[in-house]
């Protein structure tokens, strides 16, 4: 039977785990940045050998490895240390690597999160306070940062392959990926659906990344890139499906409605808009086991790192649809707590692919 002291000790231990969360991020970032993860990619390696390979202090390297072992990132073995399947996600050059995510969360976003008190007090973006300009402007002016951000986003691309199961693309001829970045989502759709043609609309500075992605996927002959600002420039008309993946959560309600309205106007007759987001729960709920709710965590992330972004509940997205002249047309779940929410113009009478 647990005593009151046992219960309080457990609570204090859990609180220590919460308060040292930033240490976890920095340990993983360091292992990636110094090349320790890649040094272990080819098998078991003693700490001293790994340290020599990355030109680091042997004793300090072993201390880092011991901490990473406690996280389940590496496994201590009689002959040294090896990556676990979890740690292998951090390797360089693998599809959907978490490497760039670790670097971004351990550096720029780590610094911006330091201004969470400012963001909560004022409702203003913490990133801009730290770096002197909004996050999207900062990335646009720095190609290396834009590439890092695209690489970080790729870690969540696991749900792309599930999109064709969540929505029936049979009968769809063309897809417009609004704010499609490096084109990963569209490349996945074009690979799975060989009859599709697609267009990515995004800022001109990502065109080279996008073109490279399409060439690597072998679908460059069925793809076009349009460099544009999707708020001020007209969207290419006539596509059967518009996809907005992780876009609306970056913006306030009015801008979301403006973008959704532009989609409704540019759609082919009978077309559909697919919004891919991580919705908030309709009712707040606590956590009994300390598991992080991804949607509420990312909602706070939007507060810190965008000027007006936020996560929304499914009902809130449906209200945006109605304001934009669209009507909800189904929902389906995706991996990583993502969902696809479909909407069609209210006056639509034709069909472009099946329902969820």
| Residues recognised as catalytic | 249
- Please tell me the total number of residues recorded for the chain in this structure: 356
Helix (H, G, I), strand (E, B) or coil at 250: helix
Residues 6+ apart with CB under 8 A from 70: none
- What torsion, rounded to 10 degrees, do the Cα atoms 46, 49, 51, 54 define? -130
**Spatial distance between the Cα atoms of 189 and 157, rounded to a whole number of angstroms:** 12
Q: Which two tokens stand for residue 45?
A: 């390696």
Task: Quote the CA–CA distance of 187 and 214 in Å, as a whole number.
Answer: 6
Other CB atoms within a 10 A radius of the CB of residue 233 amount to 12
For 265-319, the DSSP string reads HHEEEEEEEEEEE-PPPSS----SS----HHHHHHHHHHHHSSS-----HHHHHH
Angle ∠(354,182,304) on CA atoms, nearest 5: 95
């Amino acid at each position: 039977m647990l005593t009151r002291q046992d219960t309080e000790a457990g609570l204090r231990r859990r609180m220590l785990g919460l308060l040292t969360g930033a240490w976890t991020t920095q340990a993983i970032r360091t292992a990636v940045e110094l090349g320790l993860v890649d040094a272990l990619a080819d098998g078991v390696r003693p700490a001293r050998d790994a340290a020599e390979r990355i030109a680091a202090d042997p004793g300090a390297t072993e201390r880092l490895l011991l901490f990473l072992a406690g996280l389940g990132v590496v496994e201590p073995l009689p002959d040294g240390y090896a990556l676990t399947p979890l740690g292998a996600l951090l390797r360089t050059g693998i599809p959907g690597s978490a490497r760039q995510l670790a670097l971004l969360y351990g550096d720029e976003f780590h610094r911006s999160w330091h201004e969470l008190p400012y963001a909560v007090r004022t409702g203003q973006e913490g990133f801009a306070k730290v770096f002197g300009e909004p996050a999207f402007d900062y990335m646009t002016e720095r190609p290396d940062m834009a590439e890092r951000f695209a690489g970080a986003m790729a870690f969540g691309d696991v749900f792309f392959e599930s999109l064709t199961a969540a929505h029936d693309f049979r009968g769809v001829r063309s897809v417009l990926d609004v704010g499609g970045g490096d084109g990963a989502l569209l490349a996945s759709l074009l690979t799975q659906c060989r009859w599709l043609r697609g267009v990515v609309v995004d800022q001109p500075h990502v065109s080279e990344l996008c073109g490279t992605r399409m060439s690597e996927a072998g679908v460059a002959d069925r793809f076009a890139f349009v460099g544009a600002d999707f708020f001020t420039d007209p969207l290419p008309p006539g596509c059967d499906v518009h996809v907005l993946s992780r876009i609306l959560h970056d913006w306030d309600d009015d801008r979301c409605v403006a973008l959704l309205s532009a989609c409704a106007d540019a759609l082919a007759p009978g077309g559909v808009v697919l919004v891919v987001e991580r919705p908030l729960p309709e009712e707040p709920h606590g956590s009994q086991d300390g598991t992080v709710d991804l949607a509420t965590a990312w909602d706070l992330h939007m507060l810190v790192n965008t000027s007006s972004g936020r996560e929304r509940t499914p009902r809130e997205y449906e209200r945006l649809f109605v304001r934009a002249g669209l009507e909800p047309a189904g929902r389906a779940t995706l991996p990583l707590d993502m969902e696809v929410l479909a909407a069609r113009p209210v006056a639509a009478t034709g069909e472009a692919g099946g329902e969820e």
